[in-house]
Amino acid sequence: MVHYSDYLQLEKVLGAQSPESDRHGQPAHDEMLFIVIHQAYELWFKQLLFETESVIGIMQQPALNDNSPELQTVVHRLSRCSTILKVLVHQIDIMETMTPMDFLDFRDMLRPASGFQSWQFKLLEARLGLKYQHRFGQQYYLSQLRQPEIDRIRDAEKAPSLLELVNKWLERMPFFSLPDGAEAMDTTAPAPTAMATAAAFWTDYRLRYLQSLADAEKNNMEGFDRIFFGVTAPHPGSRAAEKGAPIPEEKDAPAAEPAARTASCPMGYGSPTDAATGTPMPGSSSATTSDSTATANSGSSVDAARSLSPSACRSALFIMLYRGYPMLQLPFQVLNQLLEIDEQLSTWRYRHMSMVHRMIGTRIGTGGSTGKDYLGSALAQHHLFKEIAGLTSFLIERKKLPQLTPEMERRLGFAW
């Protein structure tokens, strides 16, 4: 028969606190708190890794029904991760009941041990999507780990991360690659015609976005074309392209034909023209062959550092814009939970940095790091899902969104 203490192995857990100050014959009361909090952190890191791996397992499937219990499971487990991270943030409140003088009672006895040696946290970052090339302090972030721990992190960096799988999931969103669904698609129509029709949504949306910008924001069009179409050169609509030429106000601009009334699918590739200028639309076949080709030919280090492809970004933006439709509610929650996880990680980093500054000021860490300065740099650089967060720069008001066709609205709604 199972017993509570045996099930939780409490004898091992409760016997796992061995203060260094006791070993040195100089008992420091607050060292027990210090140990327990860090052990709790490592247990929560273990749970976060467990949840993350389960989500990765679901997202790795060749096909994922966006209206299935599996996607609901992804949302639920990501939500659990963000809740756990909130607990990690609040644990700092408990840690801060220890004063700097209390910490100094045993701090020097801990050298060279350091939180920098938490291999589980580095593994979690890698599984979520932080790549080696995006890390701060690449030259020493593994320097204090043991070889088996280094091997695990290196293996994790080589495996598909959650962010990479989210990119692939967004790229294969069915609403964004088929002209109004396979069941309604005219398979006898030439492919270029279907592609051009599908891309009309983005011709329309690009114009509407341009019309929504204040004069000081016109350079956003360069970011729009780069992020959603992989085009890095200035394009019609940007101030750089117009060389100071005034851009018509929204009331003066020609009204665009509602794209979704003529286009049967809101995403795709083709050869549409910019409604405002008559020039080839960025991302069309006359401007770029494909997302990957555009990125490869651009030679831009910014593009090389991207985690989300242009097509994935278009899918994510469409989900944000039309999230009110039933079929897009779960995909929106996936994106929203990823942003929540990133926000909670950043909050934890900030609170950790502030606590370290409060405890040791500008002194170096027990493991030899620069202490507060290292934590501050990691806070600034380690934003895992910043490309998703950045898409909010390209939203427009609901009342100005392109009207979807009745058929598209049916497909995005409930089917009875």
pLDDT tens profile 344-368: 999 988 888 888 888 888 777 666 6
- For residue 107 the two structure tokens come to 């701090």
What does the pLDDT read at residue 144? 83
The stretch 42-51 carries a mean pLDDT of 98
Using CA atoms, how far apart are residues 225 and 196, in angstroms rounded to an integer? 17
Q: pTM for the full model?
A: 0.79
> Using one digit for the tens of pLDDT, what is the confidence trace for 122-156?
999 999 998 877 777 777 778 888 999 999 999 99
Assigned architecture for domain 4-156+330-382: Up-down Bundle (1.20)
Mean pLDDT within 71-84: 97
Q: How large is the average pLDDT for residues 31-51?
A: 97
Q: Which residues 6+ apart lie within 8 Å of 31 measured at CB?
A: 19, 20, 21, 22, 105, 106
Q: Degrees (nearest 5) of the Cα angle 147, 52, 354?
A: 75
412: helix, strand or coil: helix
Neighbouring CB atoms inside 10 A of 309's CB total 21
Q: Over pLDDT 90: what percentage of the chain?
A: 52
CA distances from 396 to 239, 251, 399, 400, 405 (A): 20, 16, 8, 7, 19
Q: Which residues pair with 273 in a beta bridge?
A: 280
Rounded to the nearest 5 percent, the helix, strand and coil shares of the chain are 60, 0, 40
Q: Is the pLDDT of residue 287 over 80?
A: no
Q: What are phi and psi of 273, to 5 degrees?
A: -110, 155
Main-chain dihedrals φ then ψ at residue 280, nearest 5 degrees: -60, 135
**Residue ranges per domain, the chain?**
4-156+330-382, 174-322+401-412
User: pLDDT tier at 55 (50, 70, 90 boundaries)?
Assistant: very high
Helix H or strand E segment including 90? helix 69-95
Is the model's pLDDT at 248 over the cut of 50? Answer: no
Note the Cα 275 to chain centre separation in Å.
32
Tokens found for residue 175: 């609403």
Q: 224 and 412 in contact (C-beta within 8 Å)?
A: no
The pLDDT mean for the chain works out to 78
- Calculate what percentage of the chain has a pLDDT beyond 70: 72
**DSSP 3-state assignment of 280?**
strand
